[in-house]
A and B are shown apart, each in its own frame.
Chain A
Amino acid sequence: MSKISKVLVIGSGPIVIGQAAEFDYAGTQACKALREEGVTSVLVNSNPATIMTDEGIADIVYIEPLTVDVVGRIIERERPDGLLPTLGGQTALNLAVDLANAGVLDKYNVRSLGTPIQTIRNAEDRELFKKLMADIGEPTPESAIATNMKEARRAVEAIGLPVVIRPAYTLGGTGGGHATTMEELEYIVSIGLAVSPVHQVLVEKSVVGWKEIEYEVMRDAADNCITVCNMENIDPMGVHTGDSIVIAPSQTLSDKEHQMLRSASIRIIKALGVEGGCNIQFALAPHPMVAERWPPGGSSEVYEHLQNGCPPYYVIEVNPRVSRSSALASKATGYPIARVAAKIAVGRRLDEIENQVTGKTMAAFEPALDYCVVKIPRWPFDKFASGDRTIGTQMKATGEVMAIDRSFEAALQKAVRSLEMGAKSLLWEDPSWRDRFPVEPSDLRLWGIMASLRRGVSPEELSQQTGIDPWFMYKFQNIVEMERRLLSEPLTPQLLWDAKRLGFSDEQIGTLADRLPEQVRALRHNWHILPVYKMVDTCAAEFAAETAYFYSTYERENEAEPLEGNKAVVIGSGPIRIGQGIEFDYCSVHSAWALQEAGFKSIIVNSNPETVSTDFDTSDRLYFEALDEESMRDILENEGIEGNFTPSSIVQFGGQTAINLVEPLARSGMPILGSSAEAIDQAEDRRRFEDLMNRQGIPQPPGGAATSVEGALNVAKLIGYPVLVRPSYVLGGRAMEIVHNASELIHYMTLAIELDTRHPVLIDKYLEGKEVEVDAICDGERVLIPGIMEHIERAGVHSGDSMAVYPGVNLTEQEVEAIVDYTIQIGLTLQVKGLMNIQYVIMASDEGSTVYVLEVNPRASRTVPFLSKVTGVPMVRVATKVMLGQSLKEQGYETGLWKRQKLVAIKAPVFSMSKLSGVDTYLGPEMKSTGEVMGIDYTFGAALAKALLAADLMLPLEGAILLSIADKDKPEAVPIIRYLASLGYKLYATEGTAAMIKAVGIPVTLISKKLSEGHPNILDIIRDGTVDGVVNTLTGERGPLSDGFEIRRAAAEKRIPCFTSLDTTRAAVEALINGDQTFSVQPLREYLMKNPR
């Protein structure tokens, strides 16, 4: 093998369900590892909110769309020796195969490093994979392909019921199902054959209810193999591992079973020839108690195998790459899988790579854990109340949390706390459950099980109902028993100690033992019941380790002595969820680095295993802990010295999670760096903020608050419809709606009052103007505004779901001046020290435009990474140093707007709607997107084309489109429709829209909206691929029964662009008009340094 000196690393693109921040972690580690090996790294990713796309991580960074064409151009220009496709999730893996298929890799003589392209094909293609497994004697579930009912019946005769039916070439498991009887088989197969474009279904033996066990395996080119760890899914087969509660290491496997699967894993990675990391999933026969009922309808005949000493297993799936599970395994063990995989890819052997954690041993070893790790997924159903909460083979979680402790009960309860679901400890029960508790797979199952146990349902019965191994049920039962003790026994030191050892929070103990959380805390202090911190060291303390990666536990010996010297704590942002994504991890990491630059020791606290911030070498010390009051205060006390010094906390970078900790920290006298608690409260408290704006003479949309329907109607009458309504007690645009008339308002208010009578509903005039957003850094004397971003969608669409353009290309000088002036005034008046984000709306009129301030967030916003990258201002670094006392002036910055770059950058949102059935996709004041991409170029048109391309919103150059446009939008839609027609687009439209199009003289095909009245209807032409995109604007009527909802869902499931805002539609059509889509492909640095070529 010739020496590799330059490697192309493909990132995973935007955050979507199934591909979250874990690949930023993987890519960042890989680039750092390549640098250590003296290899030049070229990185391409479309997601600007990533550490990996920072200067200083990779050598050459491209923020460009991840398409064969674009990456081909990068390869042509950079001429890398190798391509590393295994660190960017499925996106990178698929792109690598496409590049190989297109001949690009051969043409430029680029080798696929780590994993040969043929290995990817062998692992990804069902048939090739089964054949390979059969060749090496590894069992896969029996299956057969059927193209008609007769073949399906014959297959079942051979395989036996129950079976899973998977139609060929349909997305997301549509049309498949689980058949336990011949009747079900006939029904599901008939549907499956119909929906499959090739009329083919796979009939596979069902292992639903079996244990799901995963192994993380590493192999080098010399054929050395190790397993990093195994993981047991608490939810058995049938629930996607990304949606399962997972524990590492396995708990219910004997050594013989563990070694059986471990040996199989090693045989598989060898057969595949993976050089690097690989994730292997097994189904293992369940406990006999479970096997009686699982798979549903199945018999326990499998237990004949048990006479042979080991239960039967099947290989379910192999990921020949770094995965979400491997990120979890890395954090669970301290073994840096991505780093080691990158080094193996450029030719290192496992026994040549140092184990950074111990500093003494090598990567050729297997981590020994002396704790257990529990991962719980974070689902978006708090945002999507109408979404289908059941979980199954399609992953729905947006993120996850991990907790470490020395008992399962404690790790589980700490993980529940880390979810940040308000007061939703395991004690939580939904009052509407009455006596039906949800124990079928859903996001509520854990709580349903606890509620059932509390009412005396036996653990064994619950195991049979759920398929969850009895071991876990007995542990849940332990928690319930402790609840009983806390309810009935006097709170003694022993009882408190025992409860803490099972992971009960002060708040839970307080609830059960009738005390305030603060009183429980005081008791703990009196009785010296305090957490200690133990190290994650990969070796169960066998060797003295050098890393500082800690978790709390209630034991005797504390290993985390307070760090010496100047130090500060960066509070992280917890699990990735809608509204609080990877952007905040980006900020936390940069803040930790800035602290180090300024000579401070940085301490990070976070609960999310998928992140760079929880990499053990990002900060000087990592506490892997829940981000709540109790754990933060414990950590700060632990870092304190002799009780008279507490290190300061940085709360501006962890999103709303960290901001929510300001009040409790301030209350307990713990110092905060940067903007004071008082300043933060003034910005967050609506009334105080309004008063302040009035005093400053800064316009705000008129509004008021109401606690009754009558009150609300009065306010609305005064300010005029449409109005924006939202409850005052939730933050971040939750449950916010635009209301157009009195009847909608009555409907909204009735519901809101039903939910909460104490807090008023805020009613503001909805200004349908141009929305503009700025991020600024203030040091109390100066305010630096790195850039202004203009939204493509007008106000009313959540800023996180809007396309944002830098610089504000359509703003007048007067508007820019007003924005800069207000921003400076607000920063100085609030005495912000650090970052803030302000949203404005501009209403144009004949007399000139008025700029209104919508809201101020006294913290880093989600646009900070984007703006930092396109302006070149390292915003987090500057802000962190401001917090430490270095003024903007000292850092070389002046007040006002930073010089405008000669480039255009557009941030576009990315949604995961195809994965969330039952969720309406229209854009509104509630945020729905999971990720973002960036298009950057020298002109608006080129940047827009790239943003749309990267966000999968680009319409084909020619095709057909379905239009269903609300009456109020029709006049505005006409020019857009003319454009489409002039491009040769074939137009389909619903009744009213078709009439309007015909009236302006454009040919159109009328298509029925009535789903019950014959075919083809609107859904048919979406599903059968007749149209390439949909434009559907809201009529005001929403909800799962409306036609619009059906149209939008069909488009989401078909994965074609669906525009619900005319602004986005206009942009997409303009991008088409720009025609041949010429755009630059060049490193990010060049856009910032050079003028257009």
Chain B
Amino acid sequence: MTKKAILVLEDGSVYEGYSFSAPISAYGEVVFNTSMTGYQEMLTDPSYAGQVVVSTYPMIGNYGINSEDFESNRIQVAGFVVREECHIPSHWQSISNLHDYLLSNGIPGIAGVDTRAITRRLRSVGVMMGMITLEESPGEALERLSRLPRYDSMDFVNQVSTETIYRWDAPTGEDALYHIVVVDCGLKLSILRILSRMGCALTVVPCTTSAEDILNLKPDGILLSPGPGDPALPYLEETVRGLLGRKPIMGICLGHQLLGRVFGGKTYKLKFGHRGANHPVRDLDSGRVHITAQNHGYAVDADSLKGGLEVSHINLNDGTVEGLRHRELPLFSIQYHSEASPGPKDTVNSFERFLEMVRG
């Protein structure tokens, strides 16, 4: 009835379970997320491109799949690892279940595995490449894995970014207050939903759009979106450099890391990243602590910052940089996800802060 499947990590550890949804193999960087709800948003978050996501919460799919909570137009994860997939969900909005939804996107899942054991492994060794496979032996899988490109060497931003420019208008019947250009590095739709609800007209541009082309769109402000992978992307850094001081800028997640980099900051890879909905962040100005949603594997090195950029927020757990601002220029950035989805909405006022900056 059920097909056996294994998850093999590049350090040789093997976790047995069974295959659900697409009965195919998949590989990627294996990461864990500690959110207890929000799997639909996670699956469709482009920042997970190239990654096999392990959900630490054991029962996934309980409330099915609905037509509202997509963060992009398709599943972005390479594979999904759960302790238990719920086959008969129960929710007023549910239109599908986890199995069928993954299957419709051709994404494999593995269930029945000891996800806590995997998490402990990733926590102590660090994130690593891994593969979900059905027929191969662990040795065969490892051998094939060694020949596949590594996550860190890939530009996933370019893969997930929109190919064409598109507009996202303010709610009908309202005049747009501001025009915001969103540079799509792996955008979550919630960002557009929030800004639009706040009265903004939005233009979403591909990540390869030049600074000049962006400015030609006559934006009141520019948002650098989150996105997957290593932020060391010269073409994007060049674009951002060209935007500095021209218009107010807000960077989120990868956008935040890009801002750090163009100010000479270094970025580095975290051992196992921050992925969850419970990360405490301290606002260094007010001293206040907020609970944030996070999804990132890289961070900005605080000591390397130059050129008037300073740290505004830190992570209470490990002291890493969570927010930046500039002493003179109208720009700031956050490493966490104020758009939540999934996660707490405690910092949704970051967008107000951005619009205030746009207002001038």
* A370, B57: Cβ atoms closer than 8 Å: yes
B59 interface residue (CB < 8 Å to A): yes
Q: How far is the CA of A258 from the CA of B119 in the complex (A)?
A: 24
* B90, A255: Cβ atoms closer than 8 Å: no
Cβ-closest chain B residue relative to A372: B59
B344 interface residue (CB < 8 Å to A): yes
Cβ-closest chain A residue relative to B288: A224
Which residues of chain B come closer than 8 Å to A828, judged between CB atoms?
A: none
Given contacts A252-B90, A287-B90, A556-B114, contact A365 B279 (CB under 8 A): yes
Cβ-closest chain A residue relative to B89: A471
Q: How far is the CA of A107 from the CA of B57 in the complex (A)?
A: 52
Q: How far is the CA of A475 from the CA of B32 in the complex (A)?
A: 26
* B342, A255: Cβ atoms closer than 8 Å: yes
Question: B155: shortest Cβ distance to chain A, in Å?
Answer: 28
Within A531-571, the residues touching B (CB, 8 Å) are 534, 539-544, 555-557, 559
Which residues of chain A come closer than 8 Å to B276, judged between CB atoms?
A: 368, 540, 542
* A541, B37: Cβ atoms closer than 8 Å: no
Question: A15: shortest Cβ distance to chain B, in Å?
Answer: 33
Q: Most chain-A CB neighbours within 10 Å: which of B32, B62, B276?
A: B62
Give the interface residue-count category, chain A. Answer: 35 or more
Within B50-86, the residues touching A (CB, 8 Å) are 56-59, 62-63, 66, 68-69, 83-84, 86
Cβ-closest chain B residue relative to A350: B289
Which residues of chain B come closer than 8 Å to A845, judged between CB atoms?
A: none
* A541, B88: Cβ atoms closer than 8 Å: no
* A557, B116: Cβ atoms closer than 8 Å: yes
B3 interface residue (CB < 8 Å to A): no
B338 interface residue (CB < 8 Å to A): no
Cβ-closest chain B residue relative to A494: B2
Which residues of chain A come closer than 8 Å to B344, judged between CB atoms?
A: 259, 262-263, 366
B109 interface residue (CB < 8 Å to A): no
Question: A311: shortest Cβ distance to chain B, in Å?
Answer: 7
* A541, B56: Cβ atoms closer than 8 Å: yes
B208 interface residue (CB < 8 Å to A): no
Cβ-closest chain A residue relative to B68: A309
* A364, B316: Cβ atoms closer than 8 Å: yes
Q: How far is the CA of A288 from the CA of B91 in the complex (A)?
A: 8
Q: Most chain-A CB neighbours within 10 Å: which of B66, B115, B288, B317?
A: B317
B35 interface residue (CB < 8 Å to A): yes
Selected contact of A365 from candidates B36, B89, B92, B316, CB within 8 Å:
B316
* B117, A557: Cβ atoms closer than 8 Å: yes
Within B142-197, the residues touching A (CB, 8 Å) are none
Question: A913: shortest Cβ distance to chain B, in Å?
Answer: 40
Cβ-closest chain B residue relative to A251: B62
A253 interface residue (CB < 8 Å to B): yes
A14 interface residue (CB < 8 Å to B): no
* B343, A288: Cβ atoms closer than 8 Å: no
Give the interface residue-count category, chain B. Answer: 35 or more
- Per-position contact with B for A556-589: 1 when CB-CB < 8 Å, else 0? 1101000000000000000000000000000000
Question: A269: shortest Cβ distance to chain B, in Å?
Answer: 13
Question: A477: shortest Cβ distance to chain B, in Å?
Answer: 9
Within B274-307, the residues touching A (CB, 8 Å) are 276-280, 282, 287-289, 291
- Per-position contact with B for A483-501: 1 when CB-CB < 8 Å, else 0? 0000000000000000000
Cβ-closest chain A residue relative to B39: A255
Given contacts A351-B289, A541-B120, contact A254 B69 (CB under 8 A): yes
Q: Most chain-A CB neighbours within 10 Å: which of B32, B341, B346?
A: B346
* A370, B90: Cβ atoms closer than 8 Å: no
Selected contact of B91 from candidates A224, A287, A371, A556, CB within 8 Å:
A287
Given contacts A350-B289, A406-B83, contact A360 B116 (CB under 8 A): no
Selected contact of A256 from candidates B59, B69, B282, B346, CB within 8 Å:
B69
B345 interface residue (CB < 8 Å to A): yes
Which residues of chain B come closer than 8 Å to A371, judged between CB atoms?
A: 58
Which residues of chain A come closer than 8 Å to B91, judged between CB atoms?
A: 252, 254, 287
Question: B192: shortest Cβ distance to chain A, in Å?
Answer: 16
* A362, B316: Cβ atoms closer than 8 Å: yes
Question: A6: shortest Cβ distance to chain B, in Å?
Answer: 28
Which residues of chain B come closer than 8 Å to A256, judged between CB atoms?
A: 68-69
Q: How far is the CA of A226 from the CA of B115 in the complex (A)?
A: 26
Within B322-360, the residues touching A (CB, 8 Å) are 340-346
Question: B41: shortest Cβ distance to chain A, in Å?
Answer: 6
Given contacts A256-B68, A350-B289, contact A370 B92 (CB under 8 A): no
* B37, A226: Cβ atoms closer than 8 Å: no
* A351, B280: Cβ atoms closer than 8 Å: yes
- Per-position contact with B for A345-368: 1 when CB-CB < 8 Å, else 0? 000011100000000111011111
Q: How far is the CA of A365 from the CA of B344 in the complex (A)?
A: 12
B218 interface residue (CB < 8 Å to A): no
Which residues of chain A come closer than 8 Å to B58, judged between CB atoms?
A: 370-372, 406-407
* A543, B123: Cβ atoms closer than 8 Å: yes
* A474, B88: Cβ atoms closer than 8 Å: yes
* B119, A542: Cβ atoms closer than 8 Å: yes
Q: How far is the CA of A249 from the CA of B89 in the complex (A)?
A: 16
Which residues of chain B come closer than 8 Å to A303, judged between CB atoms?
A: 92
B34 interface residue (CB < 8 Å to A): yes
Cβ-closest chain B residue relative to A370: B56
Which residues of chain B come closer than 8 Å to A941, judged between CB atoms?
A: none
Cβ-closest chain B residue relative to A309: B68
A369 interface residue (CB < 8 Å to B): yes
Q: How far is the CA of A555 from the CA of B117 in the complex (A)?
A: 9
A223 interface residue (CB < 8 Å to B): yes
Selected contact of A555 from candidates B116, B272, B279, CB within 8 Å:
B116
> A interface vs B, CB < 8 Å?
222-226, 249-256, 258-259, 262-263, 266, 287-288, 303, 306, 309, 311, 349-351, 360-362, 364-372, 406-408, 469-471, 474, 534, 539-544, 555-557, 559
7 cross-chain CB contacts under 8 A = A226-B280, A259-B340, A351-B289, A372-B59, A471-B89, A542-B119, A556-B16
**4 smallest A-B Cβ distances: which pairs?**
A255-B38, A557-B117, A471-B90, A540-B56
> B interface vs A, CB < 8 Å?
15-16, 32, 34-38, 40-41, 56-59, 62-63, 66, 68-69, 83-84, 86, 88-93, 114-117, 119-120, 123-124, 272, 276-280, 282, 287-289, 291, 316-317, 340-346
Beyond A370-B115, A557-B114, 13 additional contacts (C-beta under 8 Å) are: A224-B288, A251-B59, A254-B37, A256-B69, A361-B317, A362-B316, A364-B291, A365-B291, A407-B59, A470-B90, A474-B90, A543-B317, A557-B116
